[in-house]
Structure 1
Amino acid sequence: MATKSAMNGITLWASLLFVVILGFSRLSYSMFLPGIQREIGGSYVQLGMLGTVNFIGYLVGTLCLSPIISRFPERKSVMNRITCLLLGVTLIGSAFSNHFAGLGLWRFAIGLLSAFATVLVLSIAMDAVRPAERGTASGLIWLGGSAGILVTGLFAPLTIDPSHLQGWRYAWVIMGVFGVIAAFGFEFVTRKAGAETIPLQTESKPQDIKNEKLYRILLNPKRLLFLIASYFFFGWGYIIYFTYLIPYLVSKGIPSLYAGLIWSGIGFAGLFNGWIGGKAIDRWPSGYTLASGLALGTIGVIGVATNHIFFTVLGAAIIGLVSFITPPLMTTALLRRHVPHHAYAGCLSIATAFFASGQIIGPIVGGLVVERYGLQLGVASSAIFMAIAAALAGLYGQWQQKLEVRSLSIEG
């Protein structure tokens, strides 16, 4: 299959799938927390644990996917087809939960399937794009997650307002139906473009991936370790912010409509983030570019600590604009540049597992801080881990620079 520009039908439908994979299946839970708490009950620690269960499923999925792809490299399209359809179905199923245990099982399944879908959709879509435009394409795909947040925020009057006790259920059903439609659309365009007939040399052979020893690529301090560590701490930090921001706003007495608009504002700003971040990483493919976005995001989180609604909203806009979609899309693009083509899907899967591990720890730590010190400090604590992520990304950029200088010296 001939490669295409960043803007093509496969990228568009992949972005629509990311509305579901990220915005609906994972981050909508935060918006629904007040409604779920009113109907099912539970403390913030318990509700945070349900978020953790989702990311445990996400971690299990990323750990399982790499060996599955290694064993069946030619079946990526089939696996993606099944995974995306099931993801939509499980969203619908979760809407019928009446107890913590049942909802926890659905959240685990959603996490598992979204992990599969994240790696498979990105891998298939990136194979169809010209190498020089893969950062831009990655940005276009990841901005689907921002669009998902934007849409989720518009559900706020239905999901937060106490007069709509079952609103969160209706919202999840609608999201699940959209997910099924997006899965069919992506399948149609990839078939039409001949995505299942990618030349054999671009596919991963099991023995090649085994010989490559992916962990040596990813965990070598002189190669990708600092990038992977940054991705881990970003997952830890951002999920605290996104899990407890809406409960914090509700506790401040912010009307449900306004809380939803703030959430949608993050998503709206993220639409530009995907485009700007993709262009930036294509032009400056460096850890310093990633570190800049994470540092600005840290400043955005600190807005909550001021206890002033203006700075909280301004901080949310900054996070949406420069550090919500930027780290995943830049990590995706940097991996694509610096690992062998046949090892990319496996490396992305392992990197995503580190990201998922951070997201597992985040809700637990955030919940404990909330219970002990309140929602404001709980949300603001995410700045600590965002700052660590920024510092590690800067170290990765420093190593890149040293390697480039060394390479130029050898060539000279």
Structure 2
Amino acid sequence: MDLGYKSAFNWITLWASLLFALILGFSRLSFGLFLPGIQREIGGSYGDLGMLGTVNFIGYLVGTLCLPPLISHFQHSKNIINRISCLLLGLAMIASAFSEHFIQLGLWRFMIGFFSALATVLVLSIATDTVQPAERGMTSGLIWLGGSAGILITGLFAPYIIEPAHLDGWRYAWLAMGIFGVLAMVGFEMVTRKQRFESTQFTQLESNSREQEQVSVYRLMFSPNKFLFLLGSYFFFGWGYIIYFTFLVPYLVNKGIPSIYAGLIWSCIGFAGLFNGWVGGRAIDRWPSGYTLALGLALGTIGVLGVTTNRILLTSLGAVIIGLVSFITPPLMTTALLRRYAPSSIYPVCLSVATAFFATGQMIGPMVGGWVVERYGLEFGVTSSSLFMALSALFACLYGKKQGELETRTLRSESMNS
């Protein structure tokens, strides 16, 4: 049966964006905002707290690696797997609010990472499958900006969450976020149930065997002439951005900045990211190139360096630049580039491979960042993220170069054949 494509602006995209407020803004990045409150109540050094972040991303990596075999065994159950993943993610967020010690919180952070990895790929895949191919970059942007909205919302509640007088503020926040996530899952399920999906759209690879399918995916993803440099860019972005988002608020609090201002800076990142999703989606639809991705990453590197000035105004301006051009941009552009150039039949598996690289970077980042903070201080720790952002931009440029060379060869081949 034919699939009736929708425009980027539809109810499925809206509910997917609301889910991404949970998947990205609430479950993943709110941890950095809540660090001061968690440290006051549960204790631990920044190295210990960084390890909790690493545990979360170990779960994210495990979930990403589990997804390809999972969808291979349940080829026509994408919606069911997504429904279960989003529900358990919301419930894990609720449960984590009742943690009393490090081990308990670490276990819940692992589960949150695991289920958010499944939900990230599945929500994106389900939503973009329904949209016209020419608008899939915009769709990815609209979905990813839900994460920015999540950051914006948590920042507005920062004074209550991180003030010493409100010891349990982070618990109530995570409880509310988990409930919101469950409701968003119900809404997404209702609108997708009305949409007609092709029964074989998930991972059928024509008449190839499962072994041949895996070989073709990995040859595509690890070829220097295809997606290898894009994977490298995504890996270093995951490493760099998570250091910045984990230790920015502790740095601001340590500088003696009032919690209301720290929350406003955090909210500014999320507010700027709302425009990032729209601008980045438009840009990658119009200029689907690694160079487009590299530009945002380079500007983000400059934004991180605002911390080195030791001026709150320039630090805030740098945070806004990161929110505007290099917070949502790399994930949505990577998603859109894969959606455009990878065969649609293996797109979910390709996205899982890319997400595994992203997750590995995120897993290493908090651990290395925590070590740097313990050894050299919070300012140097936050600034260190600029190195990895710069490496991400470099790999994006290399991908753009290879992309251009491939297109040139293709044009020459077509002209010779004609």
Q: TM-score range by the shorter chain?
A: over 0.9
- Other-structure match for 2:289: 286
Which whole-Å CA distance do the structure 2 matches of 1:324 and 1:348 have between them? Answer: 18
Which whole-Å CA distance do the structure 1 matches of 2:100 and 2:49 have between them? Answer: 14
3-state DSSP class of the match of 2:76? helix
Q: Give the drift of 1:358.
A: 0.2
- Other-structure match for 2:256: 253
Which whole-Å CA distance do the structure 2 matches of 1:223 and 1:234 have between them? Answer: 19
3-state DSSP class of the match of 2:131? coil
Determine what percentage of the aligned residue pairs are the same residue: 70
One-letter amino acid of the structure 1 residue matched with residue 211 of structure 2: K
* Map 1:11-410 → 2, pairs under 5 A: 11-194=13-196, 197-200=197-200, 202-205=201-204, 207=208, 210-212=211-213, 213=215, 214-410=217-413
Which whole-Å CA distance do the structure 2 matches of 1:72 and 1:324 have between them? Answer: 33
Q: TM-score, normalised by structure 1?
A: 0.98
On the 8 A contact 1:85/1:180 being kept in 2, the answer is yes
Q: Give the drift of 1:310.
A: 1.0
Give the unaligned 5+ runs of structure 1.
none
Which whole-Å CA distance do the structure 1 matches of 2:177 and 2:195 have between them? Answer: 27
On the 8 A contact 2:290/2:396 being kept in 1, the answer is yes
On the 8 A contact 1:209/1:343 being kept in 2, the answer is no
On the 8 A contact 1:270/1:320 being kept in 2, the answer is yes
Which whole-Å CA distance do the structure 1 matches of 2:157 and 2:102 have between them? Answer: 23
Which whole-Å CA distance do the structure 1 matches of 2:67 and 2:344 have between them? Answer: 17
3-state DSSP class of the match of 2:25? helix
Give the alignment's Cα RMSD to 1 decimal.
0.9
Which whole-Å CA distance do the structure 2 matches of 1:209 and 1:257 have between them? Answer: 54
On the 8 A contact 1:152/1:264 being kept in 2, the answer is yes
* Partner deviation per Cα, 1:338-395 (whole Å, 9 max, x = no partner): 1111100001011100000000110111111111110000000000000000000000
Which whole-Å CA distance do the structure 2 matches of 1:379 and 1:73 have between them? Answer: 42
Which whole-Å CA distance do the structure 2 matches of 1:193 and 1:68 have between them? Answer: 23
On the 8 A contact 2:22/2:150 being kept in 1, the answer is yes
On the 8 A contact 1:70/1:346 being kept in 2, the answer is no
One-letter amino acid of the structure 1 residue matched with residue 108 of structure 2: W
On the 8 A contact 1:208/1:342 being kept in 2, the answer is no
Aligned residues, how many?
Answer: 409
Q: Give the drift of 1:208.
A: 5.1
3-state DSSP class of the match of 2:105? helix
3-state DSSP class of the match of 1:73? coil
